[in-house]
Amino acid sequence: MSELLYTIATDPIFAISLTAGLAVFGLLAGVSALADAQQMRFSRIKAAARRTPRRGRRREAIHGDDLMAFVRRVVQRVNVMRDQQGEAIAQKLARAGWRSRDAQALYLFGKLALPFVLVLTALAVFFVVSPYGLPLVVRLGIVIGAGLLGSRLPELVVRNRTQKRNKEMQKALPDALDLMVICAEAGLSLDAALNRVASEIAPTSQHLADEFGLTLLELRFLPDRRQALENLSKRVELKAVQALVNTLFQTDKFGTPLAQALRVLAQELRSERMLRAEEKAARLPAIMTVPLIVFILPALFVVLLGPAILDLGEVFQKV
């Protein structure tokens, strides 16, 4: 600890870099914590769906009210949110699992604040403290790149979370469909089947359970059941979910047996998952070619040809 304090006191570049890194990390951590804290109003919806809300959310929400109020004031004063843009951002954040309206304010605040933080950090490091012997054009390019990175960083975070969420739900969806088939064959309605599947699939995929639970509540409270299913397809950008929604539309419109339609869809999804696994296995030889040439063949050549080369060297020395 004393060595770290000595390094900070004697090296201003390290101190500024450490401060900037902690500031960016603290900003991202605070934005993420506040986004989770604003999900408090969804705890009542989960309670209506017979789920237990997570503890500690209310305490975090109380501590984050002041900061959240500041974020709202900044976003409203800058006035960067429009109606169409707000809907697009809300849909993008919903696909990542952040459905509260405050998540939009946090997202826009991050896009506004992070470029300034990174640009000021780059200016302090490359112009105030030490230019590191770099030309002026290079330093300006680094500063501009830091600003662009700050503006794109929230989008990258949302996109990464959306991709991870979709992968998790895609893996668990065939099992969920099998459970729905069992529930439908047992005589349960669509609402009761979704409720049962959401409770059973939660240990495997909490995100898919949340989506089914929210769809169940919309089916119960919205006047149009078709709108609830369309909202599910909008929140989850997966072809399998869209196929599920279309299957439910078909069973509702034409009276097709729900269990039979879901069984066919589950078989198709399992066949598709098997095809993806076979495709990855087929690409494996091509992927392993470069590591094989770079790492394995040189060592193999050394082991096989090394003794022969040594013997030839001894022979030439005797001659």
Could you report the per-residue pLDDT of 275-287, keeping only the tens digit for each?
A: 888 888 888 888 8
* Average pLDDT estimate for 182-199: 88
Domain annotation covers residue 287:
no
Same structural domain, 156 and 38: yes
Give the pLDDT confidence of 22-57 residue by residue, as tens digits: 665 565 555 555 555 555 555 555 555 444 444 444
Confidence of residue 309 (pLDDT cuts 50, 70, 90): confident
CA distance linking residue 293 with residue 71, whole number of Å = 54
In 3D space, the residue among 68, 53, 134 whose CA is nearest the CA of residue 101 turns out to be 68
Give pLDDT, residue 31. 53
Same structural domain, 144 and 218: no
Give pLDDT, residue 53. 41
Same structural domain, 183 and 146: no
Compute the C-alpha angle 88/204/45, nearest 5°.
Answer: 50
Domain annotation covers residue 278:
no
Confidence of residue 84 (pLDDT cuts 50, 70, 90): low
Same structural domain, 115 and 190: no
CA distance linking residue 233 with residue 244, whole number of Å = 9
Give pLDDT, residue 20. 60
Same structural domain, 159 and 20: yes
**C-alpha of 126 from chain center:** 33
Domain annotation covers residue 291:
no
Q: How much is the mean pLDDT over the chain?
A: 77
CA distance linking residue 318 with residue 308, whole number of Å = 16
3-state secondary structure the chain: CHHHHHHHHHCHHHHHHHHHHHHHHHHHHHHHHHHHHCCHHHHHHHHHCCCCCCCCHHHHHHHCHHHHHHHHHHHHHHCCCCHHHHHHHHHHHHHCCCCCHHHHHHHHHHHHHHHHHHHHHHHHHHHHHCCCCCCHHHHHHHHHHHHHHHHHHHHHHHHHHHHHHHHHHHHHHHHHHHHHHHHHHCCCCHHHHHHHHHHHHCCCCHHHHHHHHHHHHHHHHCCCHHHHHHHHHHHCCCHHHHHHHHHHHHHHHHCCCHHHHHHHHHHHHHHHHHHHHHHHHHHHHHHHHHHHHHHHHHHHHHHHHHHHHHHHHHHHHHC
Examine the fold and report which residue of 164, 189, 214 is the final residue of a domain before the chain moves on: 164
CA distance linking residue 116 with residue 105, whole number of Å = 17
Distances (CA, A) of 134 to 21, 119, 123, 137, 148: 22, 17, 13, 8, 20
In the predicted model, is pLDDT for residue 191 greater than 70? yes
Dihedral of the alpha carbons of 191, 195, 201, 205, in degrees to the nearest 10: 90
Same structural domain, 198 and 138: no
In the predicted model, is pLDDT for residue 302 greater than 60? yes
How many structural domains is the chain composed of?
2
Which residue did the predictor score with more confidence, 226 or 52?
A: 226
In the predicted model, is pLDDT for residue 264 greater than 80? yes
In 3D space, the residue among 28, 165, 170 whose CA is nearest the CA of residue 97 turns out to be 165
Mean pLDDT check: name the lowest of 96-105, 131-140, 276-285, 286-295.
Answer: 131-140
Domain annotation covers residue 182:
yes
CA distance linking residue 215 with residue 204, whole number of Å = 18
CB 184 within 8 A of CB 119: no
Same structural domain, 82 and 222: no
Confidence of residue 253 (pLDDT cuts 50, 70, 90): confident
Same structural domain, 217 and 105: no
**C-alpha of 186 from chain center:** 36
Give pLDDT, residue 56. 46
Question: Percentage of residues in the chain with pLDDT exceeding 90?
Answer: 2
Domain annotation covers residue 284:
no
Amino acid at 245: V
Most confident by average pLDDT, 19-28, 54-63, 153-162, 294-303: 153-162
CA distance linking residue 250 with residue 258, whole number of Å = 9
Same structural domain, 194 and 160: no
Domain hosting residue 225, numbered range: 169-273
Same structural domain, 119 and 204: no
User: How many CB atoms sit inside 10 A of residue 273's CB?
Assistant: 15
Domain annotation covers residue 298:
no
Domain annotation covers residue 111:
yes
Give pLDDT, residue 49. 46
Examine the fold and report which residue of 121, 144, 164 is the final residue of a domain before the chain moves on: 164
Structure tokens at 110: 């991050």
Mean pLDDT check: name the lowest of 68-82, 192-206, 269-283.
Answer: 68-82
Same structural domain, 31 and 53: yes
Give pLDDT, residue 288. 84
Give pLDDT, residue 54. 46
Same structural domain, 256 and 233: yes
Amino acid at 296: I
Give pLDDT, residue 32. 59
Which residue did the predictor score with more confidence, 11 or 214?
A: 214
Confidence of residue 61 (pLDDT cuts 50, 70, 90): very low
In the predicted model, is pLDDT for residue 166 greater than 60? yes
Domain annotation covers residue 101:
yes
CA distance linking residue 6 with residue 2, whole number of Å = 6
Examine the fold and report which residue of 115, 133, 164 is the final residue of a domain before the chain moves on: 164
Give pLDDT, residue 52. 40
Confidence of residue 266 (pLDDT cuts 50, 70, 90): confident
